Structure 1
Amino acid sequence: MRQSSEATSHLPHGEAGTEHDAAATAAHQNTAKYRALDAAHHLHPFSDMGALNRMGSRVIVKAHGVYLWDSDGNRIIDGMAGLWCVNVGYGRQELADAAYRQLIELPYYNTFFKTTHPPIIALSELLAEIAPEPFNRFFYCNSGSEGNDTALRIVHRYWATQGKPKKRYVIARRNGYHGSTIAGATLGGMSYMHEQMPSKVAHVVHIDQPYFFGEAGHDISSDAFGLERARQLETRILELGAENVAAFIGEPFQGAGGVIFPPSTYWPEVERICRQYDVLFIADEVIGGFGRIGEWFAHQHFGVTPDLMTLAKGLTSGYVPMGAVGVHDRIAQAIVDNGEFNHGMTYSGHPVAAAVAIANLTLLRDEGIVERVKHDIGPYFQRALREAFEGHPIIGEIAGAGLVAGLQLAREPRMRTRFVDGSQVGALCRDCSFNANLIMRASGDRMLLSPPLVITKQEVDELIGKAKAAIDATAQHVGAL
């Protein structure tokens, strides 16, 4: 990896240069040691470990604001906020202090056996203030995956309390993502995950995603396509029998599937269908929640109201693991009034995680970060992206709002013709961005950006400049520029 200019610019010539060379050599040796140990003992998520070990992992050693530093001294702008989660940026002392104080005061206790503790009480009160009016109760877990497992348990318990235990089917979408547990991955519609899962959760079925660029014919408008895809839900409910369908789950915008924003007609029709057939609506807010697109929760951007919403990532800005499920008052009351709910984890409502979440949500609220995403930095980011890539020879679509975007790579953008080897082109573009010290994720043939919500306009310009360079390099490689 190249040495960053930030690490060298302050050094004079002569002896200092020799000292720098020695420091660089030591850094590379340290990186080699890290990589060898990582290859020997660490199994990475979603990785071809043989290929990764031959190449060697990039070792991240420090972070501040929107930047990361690797073990070779390269400064990297994080265009993905970690994994969509570091909303308030890296290095916020307020979150570290909250964790430390709680570790000293009460590092752990469970919320089983008729017990609770002040941090989880305060967090629940704060979430009820932030969330839309129907959401006043919250169940806690450790991740978005566990949140979606929990949502399933709540849905099935709710229908049992209503005397409708036959309502078991949950309808999800192809190319949706709901986590990596067996239940979460079954709900998700990622075929490559299902191929490695011979054991799946029963009573989960899928319908098509509302992906206009990639799946609509040329003879249909965006609005008509949105209605067509929404009405697949109604068709599937009628096939299964409404008396057998418990819930529909969907991300307000598809995150890992490519930052796919549905046509404007889609969500209102989905909500209408759920209400008509008495089917619960679960909004997976793991990525969209806590300000990502300029509302506290992404479903608010689309003007719909779910019955449950799953939360994680931005809840603590990724500083410690935590997930939750927000439960509509109507559903929560049925759980409260009907005996024991036999579900929970050792770390449900962990006091340190709760303390960090409180500090994080307080920053998002008191510093006006969510409002800034909606009215200032989000529009700036979206406008700058469109100006940078207008008429680009391999960009067919820019989807997004606030501080999230999906850039569609295409062989013939105006015709909506995708690359035959789109995943390979996406991987090439990702590698070009990494080499330029930008974290930009590839999801098949879509390039994804989701920076920390505290990014400045100058940093947006830097990020988009590096993204443009990476996509230009990709276009040159495929002969389009």
Structure 2
Amino acid sequence: MLTNDQLAKWDRESFLHPSTHLAQHARGEAPGRIIKSAEGCFVTDRDGNRLLDAFAGLYCVNIGYGRKEVAEAIAEQAHELAYYHAYVGHGTEASITLAHMVMERAPAHMSKVYFGLGGSDANETNIKLVWYMNNILGRPGKKKIISRWRAYHGSGLMSGSLTGLSLFHQKFDLPFDTVRHTTSPYWFRRDDLGLTEEQFSAKCAADLEELIEAEGADTIAAFIAEPMLGTGGIVPPPRGYWEAIEPILQKSDILLIADEVVTGFGRLGTMFGSTHYGITPDIMTIAKGLTSAYAPLSGTIVSDKVWKVLEQGTDEFGPLGHGWTYSAHPIGAAAGVANLKLLDTMNLVANAGDVGPYLTRTMAEALADHPNMGEVRGEGMLTAVELVEDREARVFFDPARKVVPQIVAAMGRRGVIARAMPQGDIIGYAPPLCLSREEADTVVSATADAIREVLG
């Protein structure tokens, strides 16, 4: 990249980037990429380098880049009505239509959708609604939220507290003391290597039950979880996990919040992760695939059970005192409508269920004999490669070696973008749902070559 030109200079001088080593970036030591254009599964930087984006931005460009139908829907909406708010019952054609389309796709027991801007603010909304609900029901002490270590639920105040990754806590005075964390359903990193997946699921359930008993079920309002761990390592739940967890929550009258920001709208080869794993949530968090990131939009989907209490609350105490200026923004909603139509007409959910497992399977075959390959895992269009220093003893690399960041950089030189996942030597893949088998082969080849370059 041309690091001394005007644009790079402005970038260093003016732009505070998220999730970035700020000092290195400002000094020009780690300038990153300046992306200029994109189409399908590929992005092109301003120097003309074309790269296969095997992480779909941040798991979010489900339909692929450059879909003119969405761009035209955004432009048409902006010309007709660029903005109007959703307060006191106001709506737009786009926001009402999108709400209807979301609820057509949601599980049958869900009732209404509230629109925000991003997954973090959607999870802030979720917790406020849960607290409101318990106050309406006369349970002011039932307010704690249980999350899981290695979970990712955002980087706001409550959403950052719910996140179970140290990067999002350190020096931010998080997590808040209303949040508790329980065992991560991460079988590969279990302490007792003798446990089968089913036995480890039983341990996760027992740990949750023990935490509820210690805190008191009458103090715990909700359990929040991704159907499948995303940023914490791209980890499918071990066998029997959800079947063991849900009865414990139901017995203790604890709401289940399913964070579908990553898994929603086709990524697992099904419309939602909840239906994929047979979960019955009380609240669902949606974002990313809702618009495929063509415009910011998120959502909180509430069940019939939750909706009835919200109705009761407004009958007793007046209008719900929650909302954002940009809730249900018509441009975001127009993008969502066009996006969901393309998701259907391009048959992308089925493609994710076909090409995604192909990517995971061929990746496992290509790396099977490498001495540092710990595990290749995945579900739908989500894949992870976890590397270890000693395969037999399952000894992990010293984080200071930055093994996976080196591998991801080597992949970039081969024209493929993957993600170095936090808290482990894990290469993450979440390509657009339009990925072809030939493009999957390119991802696998670049990964294998980069691993050999870095580790031999």
**Shorter-chain-normalised TM-score: which range?**
over 0.9
Is it true that 1:79 corresponds to 2:93 in the alignment? no
Is it true that 1:378 corresponds to 2:356 in the alignment? yes
Does the CA-based 8 Å contact 2:150-2:163 persist in structure 1? yes
Q: Which amino acid aligns with 2:235?
A: I
Q: Secondary structure at the match of 2:402?
A: helix
Q: Give 1:472's aligned residue.
A: 452
Does the CA-based 8 Å contact 1:157-1:341 persist in structure 2? no
Task: State the 1:113 CA deviation.
Answer: 2.6
Q: Give 2:409's aligned residue.
A: 431
Q: Give 2:107's aligned residue.
A: 132
Q: Which runs of 5+ in 2 are unaligned?
A: none
Does the CA-based 8 Å contact 2:357-2:378 persist in structure 1? no
Q: Which amino acid aligns with 1:467?
A: T
Match of 1:356 among 335, 346, 364: 335
Q: Secondary structure at the match of 1:400?
A: strand
Q: Which amino acid aligns with 2:162?
A: L
After the TM superposition, which residues 93-132 of structure 1 pair with which residues of structure 2 at under 5 Å, given as runs?
Answer: 93-132=68-107
2-side partners of 1:435 and 1:208: how far apart? 37
Is it true that 1:145 corresponds to 2:102 in the alignment? no
2-side partners of 1:145 and 1:108: how far apart? 22
Q: Which amino acid aligns with 2:427?
A: M
For the aligned residues, what is the CA RMSD? 1.5
Does the CA-based 8 Å contact 1:34-1:59 persist in structure 2? no
Q: When the two structures are superposed, what TM-score results if normalisation uses the length of structure 1?
A: 0.90
Does the CA-based 8 Å contact 1:136-1:328 persist in structure 2? yes
Q: Give 1:299's aligned residue.
A: 274
Closer, same or farther: CA 422–315 of 1 in aligned 2, 3 Å: farther
Q: Give 1:50's aligned residue.
A: 23
For residues 291-310 of structure 1, give each alpha carbon's deviation from its aligned partner in whole angstroms, at most 9, with x where no partner exists.
11111111222221111110
Task: State the 1:471 CA deviation.
Answer: 1.6
**Which entry has the higher C-alpha Rg, 1 or 2?**
1
Does the CA-based 8 Å contact 2:116-2:327 persist in structure 1? yes
Q: Secondary structure at the match of 1:338?
A: helix
Match of 1:448 among 403, 428, 432: 428
Does the CA-based 8 Å contact 2:147-2:179 persist in structure 1? yes
Q: Give 1:39's aligned residue.
A: 12
Match of 2:438 among 455, 458, 461: 458
Match of 2:365 among 380, 383, 387: 387
Does the CA-based 8 Å contact 2:378-2:384 persist in structure 1? yes
Task: State the 1:338 CA deviation.
Answer: 2.0
For residues 337-367 of structure 1, give each alpha carbon's deviation from its aligned partner in whole angstroms, at most 9, with x where no partner exists.
3212211100000011001101101111232
Q: Which amino acid aligns with 1:407?
A: V
Q: Give 1:165's aligned residue.
A: 140
Q: Which amino acid aligns with 2:10?
A: L
Task: State the 1:449 CA deviation.
Answer: 0.4
Is it true that 1:343 corresponds to 2:322 in the alignment? yes
Q: Secondary structure at the match of 2:301?
A: strand
Closer, same or farther: CA 389–456 of 1 in aligned 2, 3 Å: same
Q: Which amino acid aligns with 1:404?
A: L
Does the CA-based 8 Å contact 1:178-1:184 persist in structure 2? yes
Does the CA-based 8 Å contact 2:162-2:175 persist in structure 1? no
Q: Secondary structure at the match of 1:282?
A: strand
Does the CA-based 8 Å contact 2:371-2:390 persist in structure 1? yes
Task: State the 1:420 CA deviation.
Answer: 2.7
1-side partners of 2:228 and 2:5: how far apart? 40
Q: When the two structures are superposed, what TM-score results if normalisation uses the length of structure 2?
A: 0.95
Does the CA-based 8 Å contact 2:160-2:174 persist in structure 1? no
Q: Which amino acid aligns with 2:66?
A: G
Task: State the 1:421 CA deviation.
Answer: 3.0
Match of 1:314 among 285, 289, 294: 289
Task: State the 1:415 CA deviation.
Answer: 3.2
2-side partners of 1:445 and 1:199: how far apart? 25
2-side partners of 1:472 and 1:305: how far apart? 44
Q: Which amino acid aligns with 1:304?
A: I
Which segment drifts farther, 432-441 or 98-107? Answer: 432-441
Closer, same or farther: CA 36–57 of 1 in aligned 2, 3 Å: farther
Is it true that 1:228 corresponds to 2:206 in the alignment? no
Q: Give 1:25's aligned residue.
A: none
Closer, same or farther: CA 440–126 of 1 in aligned 2, 3 Å: same
Does the CA-based 8 Å contact 2:262-2:288 persist in structure 1? yes
Q: Give 2:185's aligned residue.
A: 210
Which segment drifts farther, 154-163 or 241-250? Answer: 154-163
Q: Which amino acid aligns with 2:40?
A: G
Q: Give 1:5's aligned residue.
A: none
Q: Which amino acid aligns with 1:172?
A: S
2-side partners of 1:423 and 1:241: how far apart? 43
Q: Give 2:172's aligned residue.
A: 197
Q: Which amino acid aligns with 1:468?
A: A
Q: Give 1:268's aligned residue.
A: 243
Does the CA-based 8 Å contact 1:423-1:445 persist in structure 2? no
1-side partners of 2:132 and 2:113: how far apart? 15
Match of 1:239 among 196, 214, 224: 214
Q: Which amino acid aligns with 2:64?
A: G
2-side partners of 1:230 and 1:199: how far apart? 25
Does the CA-based 8 Å contact 1:296-1:370 persist in structure 2? yes
Aligned residues: 448
2-side partners of 1:472 and 1:258: how far apart? 22
Is it true that 1:413 corresponds to 2:384 in the alignment? no
